[in-house]
Amino acid sequence: MRAYLEEHHYDVNDVIWAMRTLEWTLGAIFAALMPFGWVIWVLAALYWIISLWIRKRRQNAQILSRFNQVMILVDILVLSLVVSVTGALHSQAFALYSFEIIFLAIYSSVFWSLWGIAAIWISYGLACGNWMNPELWWREFILAFLSMVATLLGLSLRQTIKKFQQNNVHIEHLMALKTLQESVVKLSSLSDSIDTILQTGIRLLNIDAGYVCEWTSSGTQLITQTGFDVRKEWDFLERYESQVLTRGVMSYYSNLAIHANQTQPYELTDEDTWELVLIPLRDQETIIGVMGFAGAQKKTSLSDQKVILEGLSEMVVNQIRFEKAQTNALKRGRLLAILERVGRIVNGNLEMSALLRSLHQTATEELEIDSFFVALNLPDDPSKILMQYLFDDGKEYAPEIMDIGAGTPTEQVLQKQEPLLLNGSMDSSQPTGSFRIPKSAIIVPLIREGQVIGAMSVQSYRIFYDEDHMEFVLSVASQAAIAIKNAQLYQQTESIALTDYLTHLGNSRRFSVVLQEAVDHASRKGSPLSLLLIDSDSLKQINDHYGHIAGDTHLQIVAHVIRRNIRDQDTACRYAGDEFVVILPGTELSEAVAVGERIRREMDGKFAWKDSMIGTTVSIGAAEFYAPMTTEELFASADHAMYDAKRQGKNRVAVP
């Protein structure tokens, strides 16, 4: 299209050159037989020589155009000379003035056309030399009428040509934008695509520099720039960009040198830089950034280039939107992969400590975590939590019951059932094993079937977490809640399987498991271990005389007495029928005998059953572990001692 216009621009100049050549030739012919006509021929010859030399340099359209414009004044002077030597008022060369009127209409604005017409009137009057002759004024009137018509036609022609050129430039710009759109979609990075958009914009706008920056929650972030040096970050609220954010429309600034006192991220106050246009980057109703172009002020103002500016801004928004969509897709894909791993943990771990350790490890693969905890609700005491798992600063801590603490972050999460992101605003109330104050923390509720079962937290002493990190922790927590609930159900099931239904002590299966662990530990550490075997002396008589319900009550009393006289680290089980066992780790034989005596004395008495008082006693055998005894040998030793107590009259504690 540009080549087409330039080609036709050459045609117009060539036509004017040909018309002028004809005009000068006709002028020379009119003066051929007149006195001093040779002067006209000399001038015509000079014109032909000069014009032919100009024609040889026609590859530069500007030279021929300037030559044609400058020659208008020369034409008027020479034409007046021709009129003067060929009969003045009676000269037929008068008609040649129509050429100059046409030249003025084509090349000049209305203002300069009027000055040119005035020059023609005066020159013709001087050439005729008789201002009082009515015929002169009649011809001047004819020239004025022709000039007015030609000027109006020339004005209309220039406006039509200008509109045609603008439309063609508009089409050219649209084609360039279409080509640009096709090229940027092939680029892989956001900065490369926007840099290409800026380079094209600078070329189309004929401007010096451009940049694109994006609004973020942490401030203005430069994406890319070209044409000047810009710092990577700046506070847009102190600069021109803030007005774009406030107004939400394109803003134009000219003569920027007067704003030299305004802090700017680039050198806009250079002597060659005078104008700036800022276009808001709008994603639907939200302004997400700004695009700016700056440079020396041109004939066409940047504010008049809305088609280009709007097209470029729309492409930038599309690229930013595409980049965000691609980033979100990648993030979702990574998150799904993580959740798939968490799902495998859920299905593969029913033991609570192993489960929570695996969850911690999975979270650490994605986040910088210095402290991690899982706290579970205690249904019987809402003011406390069970710190089921706590890892802090490289150390794993044992489970512990802790006060929640009114107003603490954990208490807020449990009460509101909403996640909490904390950055630099925490105190020592945040649970950590080392009691250091984290730099950042995320606490999320563990919700299973609409019920809050606890809270999970990740904390860092080094970095600040953001919303993306919290989204990840929430996703892990949703899976973790399922896993933890399953582990709790498994623990309950396992506890039922290892618990005696009547006394709620451990059953024989639990006794076998715990005794083996205790023997293994005593063998490795060389620590003492004792075992009590307790047998009721009264159960058969109670069952025979009062029934099995009374016998069950008697067994529950025995279990209660045993439980009350042992430590938390000791294990009591109902082994079979009326036999009970107590595993006493870290206890020597003499200490075990003392425990047995306390139990025996408390059982030596009567209990009320309906209208009767039933007497009860127990016989107890005590044995101590000595390596390399087995569990069977230790149990047999205690069993032998218990039968000795029976043979010695019952209601006593015996040793092997």
Residues 311, 414: one domain?
no
Residue 18 in this model has a pLDDT that exceeds 80:
no
User: Residue 652: how many CA atoms within 13 Å on its side-chain side?
Assistant: 11
Give the pair of three-digit tokens for residue 273.
Answer: 């830089």
Is residue 519 scored above 90 in pLDDT? Answer: yes
> In this prediction, what percent of the chain has a pLDDT beyond 70?
69
Clarify whether residues 223 and 145 are in a common domain: no
Range of the domain at 396: 349-494
β partners of residue 614: 607
- Residue ending a domain, among 267, 297, 327, is 327
What is residue 163's predicted lDDT score, i.e. its pLDDT?
72
In this prediction, residue 638 has a pLDDT band, given cuts at 50, 70 and 90, of: very high
Catalytic residue among 578, 604, 611, 644: 578
The string of pLDDT tens digits covering residues 475-503 is 888 877 877 777 666 565 555 566 888 88
Question: The domain that contains 257 carries what CATH number?
Answer: 3.30.450.40
The confidence score (pLDDT) of residue 343 equals 65
Residues 463, 388 share a domain: yes
Q: Where is pLDDT greater, at 3 or 417? A: 417
Instruction: Decide if 502 is inside a domain.
Output: no
Q: Are residues 197 and 117 in the same domain?
A: no
Q: Average pLDDT for residues 543-567, to the nearest whole number?
A: 91
Query: How many CB atoms within 10 Å of residue 352?
Result: 20
Is pLDDT above 50 for 231?
Answer: no
Q: Two tokens at 524?
A: 């490795």
In three-state secondary structure terms, 69 is helix
427 given a catalytic annotation: no
* Best mean pLDDT range from 40-44, 419-423, 462-466, 579-583: 579-583
Residue-level pLDDT at 377: 85
pLDDT-derived band at 108, boundaries 50, 70, 90: low
Q: Are residues 429 and 512 in the same domain?
A: no
Same domain, 269 and 367: no
Q: What is the mean pLDDT of residues 598-603?
A: 93
* Helix, strand, coil percent values for the chain (each to nearest 5): 55, 20, 25
User: Is the domain of 12 the same as that of 149?
Assistant: yes
Collect all residues with Cβ–Cβ distance below 8 Å to 275 and sequence separation of at least 6: 252, 253, 254, 255, 256, 294, 295, 296, 297, 301, 302
Residues 447 and 519 in one domain: no
Whole-number pLDDT of residue 233:
41
Domain membership flag for residue 29: yes
Indicate the residue among 471, 494, 517 that finishes a domain.
494
Which tokens is 42 given?
């000399």
Least confident window among 73-87, 260-274, 470-484, 535-549: 260-274
Q: How confident is the model at residue 10 (pLDDT cuts 50, 70, 90)?
A: very low
Task: For residue 565, give the 3-state DSSP assignment.
Answer: coil
pLDDT score at 580: 95
Domain check: are 51 and 81 in the same one? yes
In this prediction, residue 615 carries a pLDDT of 85
Same domain as 323, residue 196 = yes
pLDDT the model gives residue 619: 94
- Same-domain check for residues 460 and 532: no
- Look at residue 148 and tell me if it is in a domain: yes
Confidence of residue 66 (pLDDT cuts 50, 70, 90): low
The answer to whether position 410 is within a domain reads: yes
Task: Give a yes or no: residue 156 inside a domain.
Answer: yes
With bands split at pLDDT 50, 70 and 90, how would you rate the model's confidence at 186? low
- Binning pLDDT at 50, 70 and 90, where does residue 585 land? very high
pLDDT band, residue 270 (cuts 50/70/90): very low
**Residues 255 and 230 occupy one common structural domain:** yes
User: Is residue 73 in a domain?
Assistant: yes
Instruction: Write down the pTM of the prediction.
Output: 0.45
Mean pLDDT, the chain, rounded, equals: 76
| Residue 413 resides in a domain | yes
Q: 348, exposed or middle or buried, with CB in 10 Å at 0-12, 13-18, 19+?
A: exposed
pLDDT band (50, 70, 90) for residue 197: confident
Query: Lowest mean pLDDT: which of 308-322, 338-352, 532-546?
Result: 338-352
For the chain, the domain total comes to 4
pLDDT over 50 (residue 7): no
Interatomic CA distance for residues 419 and 429, integer angstroms: 17
More confident residue, 265 or 448: 448
- The H-or-E segment that residue 47 falls in is helix 37-56
Query: 466, 494, 522: which is the final residue of a domain?
Result: 494
pLDDT band per the 50, 70, 90 thresholds, residue 9: very low
Give a yes or no: residue 440 inside a domain: yes
- Tens digits of residue pLDDT in 45-55: 776 776 666 66
Residue type, 91: S
Measure the CA–CA gap between 66 and 510, rounded to whole angstroms.
Answer: 111
Q: Which residues contact 376 (CB under 8 A, 6 or more apart)?
A: 385, 386, 388, 446, 453, 454, 484, 488
Q: With residue 222 as reference, give the H or E element that holds it.
A: strand 219-226
Assess contact for 516 and 509: CB atoms under 8 A: no
* C-alpha dist (Å) from residue 268 to 35, 228, 259, 517: 67, 9, 9, 80
